[in-house]
A and B are shown apart, each in its own frame.
Chain A
Amino acid sequence: MLAVQVLINALVLGCLYACIAIGFSLVWGVLNVINLIHGSFIVLGAYLAWGAYNWSGLSPWYALLIAAPAFFVFGYVLQRLLLNRVITAPVLVTLTLTFGLDLILNNAMIYYFKADYRKLLLDPPMGSISIFDVVVPIDRLIATGAALLLTFLLYLLLRRSRVGRAIVAVRLDRDAAVLMGVDVKSIYAVAFGLGAALAGCAGVLMALIFPISPLTSSAYLGKAFVVCVLGGLGSVSGALAGGLLLALVEGIGSVYLGPAHAVTLSFVLLIVFLIVRPQGLLGRKGFE
């Protein structure tokens, strides 16, 4: 029964991991920028859900509807005003720039919300369902469903819509996309905005499950790194595969080695993957 429980936990957690990583993966794939502010976006989204529930009694599902457009605009403006100026600079510059932004946002959150851990407690609590001996909390289940839905929506957007096709085109070949009349700067801003929106939504979902504190942003960022590298960059299915693999490895690792070693294990896995299979599980060679 333990094996089934571990598997179910991994499945639930894996979808959430995918949701954390997918915006990060989109930005990395399309803009070629490692977006270090991603973790703080997620935490900000979590605070949004917490604030909406505690101050105006708004359920987290509505918070999701506020978070998506608000974060999109935030990300879009950030990209237009700041990141687009250095987008062609070497890795070091863009990476350090997003690090600076992250310092500002994180400091602002510590300043306003303090570093205390908070928890979004739904009233009444949702409880959990148990089938045989396998227990799954309902809030986790719903958050997982929402995460899958978001992932699917992004997939649809990239596949079906005009702007989505343009994003994919820029990712595949920037110069060819310019020649076909795609406005690359605005596509960059849209992609960054989408990444921010996904991070904000992921944050709202995380608020249902994990404690909220500005200090947790680096943990989210670390997960996003690992998932992206495991699954392969920029693809929706890659993020899902990476998320599931990471959750599975962490689950099995914490059962057999103890939970303290789960984080170490995931980073060792990351380094091994970087060296052996840098294109990720589902990526194609030469496409990273």
Chain B
Amino acid sequence: MNRSHLAFFGLILCTAALPLFGEAYALRLGTIACMYAVFALSWNIVGGFAGYPSFATAAFFGLGAYATGILMDKGVPLLVSVGGALLLCLLLAALLGAVLLRLRGHYFAIASLSLVEVFRELVNNATDLTGGGMGLNIPLMSGSSVMSDATFFFYAMWGLLLMTAIAVTVVATSKLGFGLNCIRQNETAASMVGLNATLYKAVAFGLSACFVGAAGGLYAAWVHYIDPSDVFDILYSVKPIVMALMGGLGSPLGVMCGAFLYLGLEEVVWRNYIQIHSGVLGVLIILLLLFLPHGLVSLRGGKVWRGLFGRKVSHV
């Protein structure tokens, strides 16, 4: 436990106090903030630690959403369904990861991007099970008010964020994290000294997918209606990358701050420029890449920052 871990978990605990403000809007925003933080932290496992540019977030978000939705329609309770979605994503991603992560650089990026397309088309065409393009309705929880519903989903998403944060911290401090770092720096050398790169990468991909899948499940139960173009939206793959770039690649605290900051910006843009919001997002991405390529963590606030965050993030 160093200072950056303390700050990391402190921030998560602070987030839990949001319902004290009691407004429905605060709850909605808080739920999305937790979801985005789950995305960004999960992406960071494979994109930040292992250095593989993954665009598969949307694929597993949608898969988790649909798995949960279908299970709940069959009468399975919510938490069991979400758990099922989590396991499914973990196993499937580990299997796919063992194959896909043999590709490097651009080729991996494209393969993970097309994973989203494949999953979306499969869901689109399996009309009997998923309702196809008509979408899928998910039953409401009986006998609860709107506010208690919102509070429940906020804490569910927050709990998921806490789980993700613990998992990420464990990974970062364990042999797995060390191995992933080696893979990022020089994969050939890492496997030369006897590191089982395929296994490490498969586990990392599985871990980066399972929490996203569970978040998708909670999202589906929360909004009660999903359709393929909504949950398999490629923007879900890109947002975590922007968040991570904003916060500083590789550092969990930075990545989570990036997620919160991104959400704040997104809300402001949505509220003021609804017709051109994606264009404004594009401008934001470009400015970020050109002028702040190492994220917020790299901002020169003098020693305060370096003292707060322990170590400098070495490279992108």
Contacts and interface: CB of A to CB of B under 8 A. Distances in A.
Interface in B47-72: 47, 53
A217 to B, nearest CB: 12
A26 to B, nearest CB: 15
A107 B277 CA distance: 8
B51 to A, nearest CB: 8
A103 B47 contact: no
A32 B104 CA distance: 13
A28 to B, nearest CB: 7
Contacts of B193: none
B308 interface: no
Nearest to A229: B110
Interface string B267-287: 000000001111101111110
B82 to A, nearest CB: 27
Interface stretch (A94-102, A165-173, A194-202): A94-102
Contacts of B199: none
Contacts, number: 118
Given A86-B289, A86-B290, A260-B124, A267 B118 contact: yes
Nearest to B237: A99
A106 B106 contact: no
A101 B286 CA distance: 7
Contact of B276 (A89, A92, A107): A107
Nearest to A99: B238
A225 B114 contact: yes
A185 B238 CA distance: 28
B285 A270 contact: no
Contacts of A3: none
B171 interface: no
Nearest to A108: B279
Contact of B109 (A91, A268, A271): A91
Contacts of A95: 53, 106, 109
Given A93-B289, A101-B286, A271 B111 contact: yes
Chain A: interface size category: 35 or more
Interface string A176-210: 00000000000000000000000000000000000
B289 A267 contact: no
Q: Is the interface of A mostly helix, strand, loop or mixed?
A: helix
Interface string A93-124: 10111011111101110010000000000000
B106 A99 contact: no
Contacts of B117: 222, 263, 267
B315 to A, nearest CB: 9
B6 interface: no
B103 A278 contact: yes
Interface of A: 28, 32, 34, 82, 85-86, 89-93, 95-97, 99-104, 106-108, 111, 218, 222, 225-226, 229, 260-261, 263-264, 267-268, 270-271, 274-275, 278, 288
Interface of B: 47, 53, 99-100, 102-103, 105-107, 109-111, 113-115, 117-118, 121-122, 124-125, 234, 238, 241-242, 245, 275-279, 281-286, 289-290, 293, 316
Given A104-B286, A107-B276, A225-B114, 12 more contacts: A91-B106, A92-B316, A96-B285, A97-B289, A99-B285, A100-B283, A107-B277, A111-B279, A264-B122, A264-B125, A267-B118, A271-B114
